[in-house]
Structure 1
């Protein structure tokens, strides 16, 4: 099951295990069970601290396997073969069950241990989903630390009957005690905050007691991370407040144009950015949403928690999010057939009919990827021609199960109240309306800047982007901006990093110039 290279790497990791690990596999006679058995045999052979046994319990998903420390039930189960993006989840679970300490703070560990109640989590994933491992790893860790918490990862492609019964059309989808707990990417802090209802108030109290930052960066994507690093390297008091560190990069699959790195994936790059920021003395305040900017000699940033942070300068790097079609039915059927991540959710539509909205690079790449999974793809482009690169268009037109419609304006998403069953569009040339019967709609029509909270404080463009000059300055003194949230053209990671660095240097220059008169007066 595992190739020689993976075995070598895994064997080295398993040398860190200090406790005996028991793997209990619940198998049936399926091909998937045989594949799982092969994987688990390979793992057991790599360490004398791992034992494997097989069962055939009727009331437990098969194939699946549980990981436990010898003599204890840790509540961690994989209902699926955790390869692809989930292989890291398997390795971490083995290490943590085996006694290797997790890389989280002592305060977070104590908070998890103190959560009261009974929590049975089920996470439906796809092996191609880059957002799913964060959720799986967080819940596995919580199950390992707290005996009241149990978690099972479920491969939706393997358990299609459950996916159909629960009408799951987006991953990750997390159930808690039989009810939907959340959909989409969630990190450990976000999950804890939803369970520990008093956590937000305690955190807000801590934040309100912080002093005045020299530079406060709002946003933790490439622009925000670069700004924080450049500011911290100047030796000034720097903070980063972010709703989720990594930003839009976390939702990006393949990255092949980041200079000097031949190829990588969004979550890997986001983790590297966070690690780099943590190398410096930067106060990172994650899972905090900014709601109001308060200009003044000292600038305030009010958070959703109620706390207000103060800073001498602020760098706005809140990025952008996927743009919606804004048609009837879209929000009603979001995650019920309407989705924005073909890499994550594509496997859930195996053998079904889907549409891709958007004819740029993202839309055409999505259609190409989906064509290998689904029965048919219809790509709808509002303009008279596709906007994707020529090489992508040639590939798209070579696929037999793809239909391309140009001058097509989507007007409505339809469904049966529980899931999507089609869409309506208008032919912009003829004015005629048409209907397409389908089960899934993948929206790929660009980005929308996260600036609603800034209206009335800084100058925004007609499209809602923050207007900046060549130095990253906004219309408000002491407030700078960088990245996809600004009017700077070409929304690219490498450009966002450069703009974030420039904004930090401009903020430092502003601090020097505005503090100089006061210092001269004091000296006199």
Structure 2
């Protein structure tokens, strides 16, 4: 099951196990069960003095296994094999169950410990989903720490009938006590905040009480992280308020064009951005969405940023680096069937459509790459492009056209996503040359038509282009004194990670220059 290199790495990790615990397997006669038993036997053999393996479990979901610390009533179960992107989740669960401390803020851990009520979480994931581990690890930690929290991690590919019955069409998908709790990437703090109803008000008061910053950065993607590092290195008081640190990078699978980093993936890159930022004296305020920018009323005065939770932050200068989000196709059915057949991440959700018919909207690099990836999993892919030809690189187009289970429609306008019984069952598009409308029966639609800047909250405050991008000059200045901007939310050409990072550094240097020249900092 595990090669020698993985065994060596796992053995080194398991040396950190401090308290004894049991692995209790509930098995059947499937191939997955045999692979699970092999995996569990390997784990037990690497730390036999602390880990005991039992195979007498009788859980209804088979194959599955639970982790049970001796003397504890924690309830964590993995149904299916937690390999692929979830192998790290398994390793962390083993360490936490064995008493190794988690890398989480103590106040968040205290919140978990204090949660009252009975919480039965079921989280569906796929082994190719790069957003799933954050949710799996958060809910695993919560189950290990609080005996009133039960978490079952379910690998969708091993429980396809259950996935179909519960209409799970996007991962990660979380159920709480049998009802949908949330879908998509969620951080530990975000999940705890949803359960702790008083958390928002306490957090708002805590933020509002903070001392004014010299530089406040709104957004934690590559631009925001670079701005924070450059500002902090100047020795000035620096803060970052981010809806999710890493931003859109978290949703990127492969990164192979960031100079000096030969190859990585989005979640790893996002984690590295945060680690680099935390290495300096930067106040990182995660899970914070800005709702209003109030410029200073006099030269050298403070700029205020109001937050969605009711709190507010003040600063002598502000850098806007809010990035961009997936663009919606904005046709009937898209919003109604989101996560019920309408998806935006082929890497995450593609495995859920194994053997089914899907479409991809968009003929640029993202759309064509998505169609190529999906063609290896699904029964058939229909690609629909509004322009009269595909806009992707020639090598990608050539590869796409060579695939036998792909149909391409150019000069085609998507008009509706249809559905029945709460899920997608087709897509309509119009031939722009003839005007004829077509209906394609299918089960999934993947939207890949580019990005839209996250600047709606800035309308009427800073100058925006007709595309909603923040207008900036070569040094990152906006039209508002003391307010700078960087990255994909601006008019800078070519939306690339390396360009955003450079723009963030430029904005930070410009903000520092502004502070010096305005006499508000030394």
What TM-score, normalized by structure 2, do the two folds share?
0.98
Partner of 2:351: 347
How far apart, in 1, do the equivalents of 2:477 and 2:127 lie?
A: 43
How far apart, in 2, do the equivalents of 1:173 and 1:238 lie?
A: 36
After the TM superposition, which of the residue ranges 319-328 and 44-53 deviates more from structure 2?
44-53
How far apart, in 1, do the equivalents of 2:192 and 2:423 lie?
A: 30
Aligned 8 A contact 2:360 2:384 in 1: yes
How far apart, in 2, do the equivalents of 1:290 and 1:417 lie?
A: 37
Partner of 1:195: 195
Partner of 2:105: 105
Partner of 2:51: 50
Partner of 1:395: 399
How far apart, in 2, do the equivalents of 1:229 and 1:56 lie?
A: 51
> Structure 1 runs of 4+ off > 3 angstroms?
none
Partner of 1:370: 374
Deviation at 1:262, TM superposition (A): 1.3
| Residue number among 350, 358, 361 corresponding to 1:357 in the alignment | 361
Deviation at 1:513, TM superposition (A): 0.5
Aligned 8 A contact 1:229 1:280 in 2: yes
Asked if 1:505 corresponds to 2:506, the answer is no
Deviation at 1:417, TM superposition (A): 4.0
Asked if 1:270 corresponds to 2:270, the answer is yes
How far apart, in 2, do the equivalents of 1:282 and 1:259 lie?
A: 25
The aligned length equals 517
| Residue number among 447, 450, 459 corresponding to 1:446 in the alignment | 450
Q: After superposition, give the CA deviation of every residue in 1:440-499 in whole Å (9 maximum; x if it has no partner).
A: 000000001000000000000001000110000111110000000001011111111000
Deviation at 1:370, TM superposition (A): 0.3
How far apart, in 2, do the equivalents of 1:272 and 1:286 lie?
A: 15
Partner of 2:293: 293
Partner of 1:462: 466
SS in 2 for 1:121: strand
- Write the mapping of 1:86-105 to structure 2, written as runs, cut at 5 A: 86-105=86-105
Aligned 8 A contact 1:28 1:56 in 2: no
Partner of 1:484: 488
How far apart, in 2, do the equivalents of 1:151 and 1:122 lie?
A: 6
How far apart, in 1, do the equivalents of 2:239 and 2:421 lie?
A: 45
Partner of 2:236: 236
SS in 1 for 2:398: helix
Partner of 1:323: 327
Unpaired runs of at least 5, structure 1 = 520-524
Q: After superposition, give the CA deviation of every residue in 1:182-207 in whole Å (9 maximum; x if it has no partner).
A: 00000001000000010010011111
- Write the mapping of 1:143-292 to structure 2, written as runs, cut at 5 A: 143-292=143-292
How far apart, in 1, do the equivalents of 2:360 and 2:506 lie?
A: 37
Asked if 1:474 corresponds to 2:478, the answer is yes
Deviation at 1:56, TM superposition (A): 5.0
How far apart, in 2, do the equivalents of 1:277 and 1:150 lie?
A: 34
How far apart, in 1, do the equivalents of 2:56 and 2:446 lie?
A: 41
SS in 2 for 1:157: helix
CA RMSD, Structure 1 to Structure 2 (Å): 1.0
SS in 1 for 2:316: strand
Partner of 2:25: 25
Deviation at 1:427, TM superposition (A): 0.5
What TM-score, normalized by structure 1, do the two folds share?
0.98
Q: After superposition, give the CA deviation of every residue in 1:248-301 in whole Å (9 maximum; x if it has no partner).
A: 001111111111111111000001110111001101111111000000121100
Deviation at 1:71, TM superposition (A): 2.9
Q: After superposition, give the CA deviation of every residue in 1:144-174 in whole Å (9 maximum; x if it has no partner).
A: 1111101010011111111111111100000
Asked if 1:514 corresponds to 2:515, the answer is no
Aligned 8 A contact 1:126 1:132 in 2: yes
How far apart, in 1, do the equivalents of 2:324 and 2:481 lie?
A: 23
Q: After superposition, give the CA deviation of every residue in 1:387-443 in whole Å (9 maximum; x if it has no partner).
A: 111111111111100011100100000000410000110111111111100000000
Aligned 8 A contact 1:24 1:65 in 2: yes
How far apart, in 1, do the equivalents of 2:221 and 2:2 lie?
A: 35
Aligned 8 A contact 1:312 1:511 in 2: yes
- Write the mapping of 1:304-323 to structure 2, written as runs, cut at 5 A: 304-323=308-327
